[in-house]
């Protein structure tokens, strides 16, 4: 009976833990809101540069954990979500373009190619130190894109803060031939199917 009581108490405590999204991304915030859970947002201070000889997948997963850990001291009793995404073809990486010129270069290089968008997802229980870390890959095939198509797209879509410059939840979907992956939300930046699994493992009720 004592064991059951302790288990029940732990479950109740986890359900009431604060949930923190360690991200400044409006896209991730909108995705997390779909789960209808109360959460707060905190900006992580993490160096997003890849390490020497680090694979793109390893970079995304390491940074997801780094973002969660970056805010842990401010929320010592919370569940903290960190996520990061790297797009790549072979050893060529495509991050957030930042400028229109970089976006044009990225899209011209990705046209006619299959690009892997690898999303790292971390759930950190700051109270116990428990880490859940996963990588979710999404295969995206780009159409062969003409210069005029790229220009029209960039005139109409603000994609400068999207890895690979392709905002798939907007007009960017018109640039693609297909998307293949286990979680349709992963490409936008927050894999909700895996996140729900992680939250349930921490006794958070979803739904």
Supply the CATH number for residue 37's domain: 3.90.950.10
Task: Report the pLDDT value the prediction gives residue 9, as an integer from 0 to 100.
Answer: 39
Percentage, residues of the chain above pLDDT 70: 93
Residues 172-197: tens digit of each pLDDT: 999 999 999 999 899 999 999 999 99
How many whole angstroms separate alpha carbon 58 and alpha carbon 63? 8
22 inside domain: yes
| 206 within a domain of the structure (yes/no) | no
**Residue 207 within a domain:** no
List, in order, residues 6 or more apart from 17 with CB less than 8 Å away: 77, 78, 79, 125, 127, 202, 204
pLDDT at 80: 98
Please compute the mean of the pLDDT values over residues 1-22 and round it to a whole number: 59
Q: What are the pLDDT digits (tens) for 28-55?
A: 999 999 999 999 999 998 888 888 889 9
Domain count, the chain: 1
Report whether pLDDT(76) > 80.
yes
User: What pTM was estimated for this model as a whole?
Assistant: 0.86
User: What pLDDT, on a 0 to 100 scale, did the predictor assign at position 56?
Assistant: 93
Over residues 117-132, the mean pLDDT reads 97
Residue-range definition of the domain harbouring residue 182:
2-201
Rounded mean pLDDT of the chain?
90
84 is catalytic: yes
Q: How confident is the model at residue 14 (pLDDT cuts 50, 70, 90)?
A: low
Among candidate residues 47, 77, 84, 183, the one labeled active-site is 84
């Amino acid at each position: 009976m004592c064991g059951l009581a302790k288990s029940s108490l732990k479950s109740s405590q986890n359900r009431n833990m604060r949930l923190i999204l360690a991200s400044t991304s409006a896209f991730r915030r909108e995705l997390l809101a779909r789960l209808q859970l109360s959460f707060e947002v905190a900006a992580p201070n993490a160096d997003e540069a890849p390490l020497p000889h680090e694979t793109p997948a390893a970079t995304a997963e390491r940074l997801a954990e780094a973002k969660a850990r970056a805010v842990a001291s401010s929320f010592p009793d919370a569940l903290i979500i960190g996520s990061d995404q790297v797009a790549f073809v072979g050893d060529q990486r495509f991050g957030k373009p930042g400028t229109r010129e970089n976006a044009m270069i990225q899209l011209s290089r990705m046209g006619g190619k299959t690009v892997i968008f690898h999303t790292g997802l971390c759930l950190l229980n700051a109270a116990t130190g428990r880490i859940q870390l996963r990588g979710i890959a999404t295969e995206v095939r780009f159409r062969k894109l003409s210069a005029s198509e790229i220009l029209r797209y960039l005139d109409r879509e603000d994609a400068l803060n999207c890895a690979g410059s392709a905002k798939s939840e907007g007009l960017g979907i018109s640039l693609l031939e297909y998307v293949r992956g286990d979680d349709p939300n992963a490409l936008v930046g927050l894999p909700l199917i895996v996140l729900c699994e992680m939250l349930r493992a921490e006794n958070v009720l979803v739904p």
